[in-house]
Amino acid sequence: DAKTTQPNSMESNEEEPVHLPCNHSTISGTDYIHWYRQLPSQGPEYVIHGLTSNVNNRMASLAIAEDRKSSTLILHRATLRDAAVYYCPPRSPYTGANSKLTFGKGITLSVRP
């Protein structure tokens, strides 16, 4: 299984950009990079995904390193509601044992008013 490593926590000020890093040095060539976030006492929710190119959606942007061994989730203007734990599990598009999704400990984002 591809392993991910992230800092334990980060802090940001409200309305400032936040860059959340993820290292996935053992990712396979076909795995997608997914990001999920988990608010307190809730299940994780999908944020964004990508394969090789940078991606944007209404929630965030995803910057993927050229060698795909790391990625960065970018929140352009952090709000108090963005305070959560962020995970970056690789995701295989194939079936079998690859279909399971392995989450690390994630990175806890705190947002200061």
Q: With respect to other proteins, which residue has the nearer C-beta, 49 or 74?
A: 49
Binding segment toward other proteins, per CB under 8 A, in 18-26, 45-53, 58-66, 73-81: 45-53
Contact 10, 109 (CB under 8 A): yes
- Beta carbons of 87 and 21 less than 8 angstroms apart: no
Longest Cα–Cα distance in the chain: 45
Residue 104 in the binding site for other proteins (CB under 8 A): yes
Part of the chain binding other proteins (CB under 8 A), chosen from 15-23, 61-69, 70-78, 95-103 = 95-103
Q: Are 59 and 48 in contact (CB under 8 A)?
A: yes
Gap between the Cα atoms of 95 and 77, Å rounded: 37
Nearer to other proteins by C-beta: 14 or 94? 94
Q: Which residues bind other proteins (CB under 8 A)?
A: 32, 34, 36, 41-46, 49, 51, 87, 91, 93-97, 99-106
